[in-house]
Amino acid sequence: MIARIFLNKLKRNLILRENFEKNKNIELTISSAKPPIFWKDKEIVKKQIYNWNAENIKKLIYKLNELEHLIKKNINSSINIISDFILEQANQKY
């Protein structure tokens, strides 16, 4: 479930990043998001849009898909797998 939540947020960020690259206006990009972005999350999403490029987001989406497949194969060690993935990604720069 955690991997699925990350995946959905990454897909939303990819769409927002692509829209931002087209219109170059962060406020317009955020306000036109469907579904609307919760007001507490707007600043975090803005930072993510500025700091991540579309190619890196796509790579991370592929990694998460592989992770989800691995978790489904090894359900008994799913907590360890997701924890290792989060720690690995936290140490990488995007």
What's the pLDDT score for residue 91?
85
Instruction: State the burial class of residue 49 (Cβ atoms within 10 Å of its Cβ: 0-12, 13-18, 19+).
Output: buried
Task: Note the pLDDT of residue 93.
Answer: 65
Q: Which two tokens stand for residue 80?
A: 């360890």
The pLDDT value recorded for residue 69 is 92
Total domain count for the chain?
A: 1
77-91, pLDDT tens digit by residue? 888 998 999 899 888
CA dist., res. 91 & res. 30, Å (int): 28
Range of the domain at 44: 2-90
36 φ/ψ angles, rounded to the nearest 5 degrees = -60, 150
- Distance between CA 16 and CA 35 in Å, rounded? 11
pLDDT in tens, 62-77: 999 999 999 999 889 8
- Note the pLDDT tens digit of each residue in 7-46: 999 999 999 999 999 999 999 999 988 888 888 989 999 9
Q: What is the pLDDT of residue 1?
A: 79
